[in-house]
Every structure is written in structure tokens, then in C-alpha cells.
């Protein structure tokens, strides 16, 4: 859901000790584990969700309900694959790459389709997608210094986004249509706030990492 799982770094945001890496090398985890299978199911659901959502011009309540079902299954697998990978040590290189791709793909597909259908303002889609892409690139920027762990705010953001997009996929009317507007508002606010917090964490992590590298270099030079 957020790139490299916490278990891949010993849960501290720093690379795992050599001993742990050596153990992982001796006992490699099969790619064909339940966590990765759930991730692959979510990837397959992305085009299926888009096809269902856009059937008959994208405004048929029945097809929209089927699209919502596909989206809901994708969101559920998103919760379980990461939990299973961390709990049962099923972390693989494939999972580290495929999991965040699947997360971003299903959410981006929903937002872009809804905006294309005129159900959701394009600026909302732009803000959310820009934040997700920016944070992903930023994680790679600081990854040699450590991993930025998923925060509670980030998890709330993901829940709010998923709930809001799901409500927009369904053709709701009356009070529920009003409620989905406010749920999406909360999602956008959390998207921006947590994005700024991740930027702060990345700056601190990089600064600390560079300081440690300089200290190590000075220690090595003095030992010569």
C-alpha cells in the first residue's frame, strides 16, 4: 500500500541488519504466496472495474453497482495482502513493486473515469493523483537513507479515498449524494495534510541520513 512494507526494514524505517538479510537469503519466500496472489487479483480487477464502470455510457445504475463490487473487492484485498505479508513474513521483491502499483492503479482508474463521466471535478482527481505520484517519487528519493513508514493519517487517507470513490461509483441520490461530497472533502483534506507530513518526514530522514554518512566518513578517515 505504501511501497516497501515495514517488515522489509525491520519495522523501524531503517534497513534490516545483515543477520536478518542473510536469513532471508537462505529462506527465500516464494512469489506464489497468498499475499502476492491477492495483489495480482487486484491488478486484474483494475481493467475489469473500468469496463464495468463505463458500460452503456457509464450511467447505468446496474453496471455501476457491479463496478462498485469490483472496486470493493480490490479495496478489501488491499487490506489483507499487506497484513498477510507482514504477519507471515511473505515479503517479496515482486510484492514491494506490485502492491503500490495495484493500489495506485485502482484509485487512479476510479478517479479518472469519474471525472471523465462528469461525476467528479477534475481538480479533485488532479490533487489526489499529484500527491500519490509525488509521495511515491519522494520515497525513492530517500530510500537509501531509510523507508518512510505508513502513518495513521496515511491509512485514514486511504480509507477516506476508497470510501469516497466507492460512493461516487454508486449512483446515489438525496442525502447520500450530499454525504459523498463531504466524504470526498475529508479525503482531499487528508490527502493534502498527510502529503505535507510525508514531505517533512522525508526531509528529516534525508538530513539525518546525510549526517550519519558524514560522521561515518570522518570516523573512517580518522581510523586510517
Cell of 29: 519466500
The average pLDDT across 199-222 equals 84
Q: Strand, coil or helix: what is 180?
A: helix
Euclidean distance between the first and the last CA atom of the chain, given in angstroms as a whole number: 45
Closest CA to 124 of 185, 197, 171: 185
d(C-alpha 35, C-alpha 131), whole Å:
26
User: Given a cut of 50, is residue 199 above it in pLDDT?
Assistant: yes
User: Given a cut of 90, is residue 54 above it in pLDDT?
Assistant: yes
Largest CA distance in the chain: 75
Helix 122-142 × helix 175-223 angle, to 10°:
20
DSSP H helix total and E strand total for the chain: 7, 0
Q: What is the pLDDT of residue 3?
A: 43
Contact 3, 100 (CB under 8 A): yes
Which residues are CB-contacts of 127 (< 8 A; sequence separation ≥ 6)?
Answer: 188, 191, 192
Q: 2 pLDDT band (50/70/90 cuts)?
A: very low
d(C-alpha 164, C-alpha 186), whole Å:
9
Q: 14 pLDDT band (50/70/90 cuts)?
A: very low
pTM for this entry: 0.76
Highest mean pLDDT of the ranges 8-22, 75-89, 130-144, 173-187:
173-187
Amino acid at each position: 500500500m505504501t511501497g516497501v512494507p515495514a517488515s522489509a526494514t525491520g519495522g523501524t524505517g531503517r534497513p534490516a541488519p545483515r543477520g536478518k538479510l542473510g536469513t532471508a537469503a537462505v529462506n527465500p519466500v516464494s512469489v506464489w504466496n497468498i499475499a502476492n496472489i491477492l495483489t495480482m487479483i487486484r491488478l486484474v480487477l483494475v481493467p475489469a472495474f473500468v469496463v464495468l464502470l463505463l458500460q452503456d455510457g457509464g450511467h447505468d445504475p446496474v453496471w455501476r453497482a457491479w463496478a462498485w463490487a469490483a472496486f470493493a473487492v480490490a479495496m478489501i484485498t488491499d487490506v489483507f495482502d499487506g497484513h498477510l505479508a507482514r504477519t507471515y513474513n511473505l515479503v517479496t521483491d515482486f510484492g514491494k513493486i506490485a502492491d503500490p502499483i495495484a493500489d495506485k492503479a485502482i484509485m487512479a482508474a476510479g478517479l479518472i473515469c469519474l471525472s471523465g463521466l462528469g461525476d467528479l471535478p477534475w481538480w479533485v482527481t488532479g490533487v489526489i493523483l499529484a500527491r500519490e505520484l509525488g509521495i511515491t517519487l519522494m520515497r525513492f528519493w530517500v530510500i537509501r537513507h531509510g523507508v518512510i513508514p505508513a502513518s495513521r493519517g496515511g491509512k485514514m487517507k486511504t480509507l477516506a479515498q476508497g470510501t469516497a470513490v466507492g460512493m461516487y461509483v454508486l449512483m446515489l441520490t438525496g442525502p447520500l449524494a450530499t454525504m459523498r461530497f463531504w466524504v470526498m472533502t475529508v479525503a482531499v483534506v487528508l490527502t493534502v495534510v498527510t502529503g505535507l507530513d510525508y514531505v517533512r518526514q522525508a526531509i528529516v530522514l534525508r538530513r539525518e541520513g546525510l549526517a550519519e554518512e558524514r560522521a561515518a566518513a570522518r570516523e573512517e578517515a580518522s581510523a586510517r
